Amino acid sequence: MAISDYPFIEAWRQVLTLSRLEAGQTVTILTSASTHPQTLSCATIAAQSLGAIVNRLDLPPVNGDKALSRDALAYLGTTPLTGNHAAIAALKASDLVLDLMTLLFSPEQHEILQAGTKILLAVEPPEVLMRMVPTLADKTRVTAAAARIQAAGEMRVRSAAGTDLRCPLGEFPAISEYGFVDEPGRWDHWPSGFALTWPDEGGASGRIVIDRGDILLPQKCYVDDPITLTVENGYAVRIEGGLSADLLNDYMASFDDPEAYAISHIGWGLQPRARWSTLGLYDREATIGMDARAFEGNFLFSLGPNNEAGGNRTTACHIDIPLRRCTVSLDGRDMVVDGKVLD
């Protein structure tokens, strides 16, 4: 259901307050052709109402000749900031960037964050943002999970469907996504609510079974029949099954990049206001699927890049796959049992 401007402005005020926006600070709103107009207008009003100096930077889309989908996460090639030194300078000079465009997995984003600028991504439909307005309680829960990941040496994932994956940890940091940016140089995503890390390079091994009803992103579809991934030395070396496996195989082969098959980030969802079932209620071009990524108790894993965590893998292929009904343990201690979080 559509929402009115007033509560959406108040939601933005809450998020910006949690992000420690102060009067006199500079906010740059990064937009593109796909930016939702209500999100833009309400974010602008909310930032101005808190005394910020607000700019808008509108950039044209790229990669349209290569991507197989309109989803901004379907092809991680060049970005509108690639080689755009004037735009990068404007963003680095800002205290806060509201990314209503989707700028991810790019060296330009890292450069901006290293300058101390905070970046908050918010591209889901307004009603999804309203349903999952972040809170301090979200931060407390997510950071506690991230601390457990940071202290662990191994993550193991099992399921009745046949998943049995072991991932050595320690090479990459644990990341907490709780929906606001309250420290200089922090990136986050509204809506979110999950803790994650990356397995040690080349270390993940075992089997992942993507069961019926699990979700593929950016395909934004529920799997019709099980897909089995055999993981060796950090890569999915075989993807087997029926039609769903054929579709996944064909999509990944289109990138012609062996790095696309690497196991990327791993973690679990902690957002009780996100729902597994909502993906079927939205047009595929209206959402990037954050409900699917964040719903409480999922095991979310990814194939593709690790440069977000400081690694060197920058493949254009990025696939997020949230699984239901998994048991996730750290150093033998269960964190999630059959899709239920034990915190």
- pLDDT value at residue 78: 83
Average pLDDT over residues 139-147: 98
pLDDT on residue 72 = 80
Q: Which residues of 119-156 are buried (b: 16+ CB within 10 A; e: fewer)?
A: bbbbbbbbebbbbbbbbeebbebbeebbebbbebebbb
| pLDDT in the model for residue 68 | 84
Look at residue 155 and tell me whether its pLDDT is greater than 90: yes
**pTM summary value:** 0.96
pLDDT at 125: 96
Per-residue confidence (pLDDT) for residue 20, from 0 to 100? 98
- Give the mean pLDDT of 41-70: 93
- Residue whose C-alpha is closest to residue 275's, from 178, 177, 193: 193
Percent of the chain with pLDDT over 70: 100
Residue 106 has pLDDT above 90, yes or no: no
Average pLDDT of the residues of the chain: 95
What's the CATH architecture for 5-131?
A: 3-Layer(aba) Sandwich (3.40)
Task: Give domain limits for the chain.
Answer: 5-131, 136-341
- Per-residue pLDDT tens for 5-22? 999 999 999 999 999 999
Task: Supply the pLDDT for residue 292.
Answer: 98
pLDDT digits (tens, 9 = 90+) for 250-263: 999 999 999 999 99
Confidence of residue 309 (pLDDT cuts 50, 70, 90): confident
Report, as an integer, the average pLDDT of 53-61. Answer: 96
Identify the CA nearest to 152 among candidates 337, 339, 328. 328
In this predicted model, what pLDDT tens digit does every residue of 217-235 receive, in sequence order?
999 999 999 999 999 999 9
β-bridge partners, 210: 227
SS (H, E, C) 273-325: CCCHHHHHHCCCCCCCCHHHHHECCCEEEEECCCHHHCCCCCCCCCEEEEECC
pLDDT at 213: 97
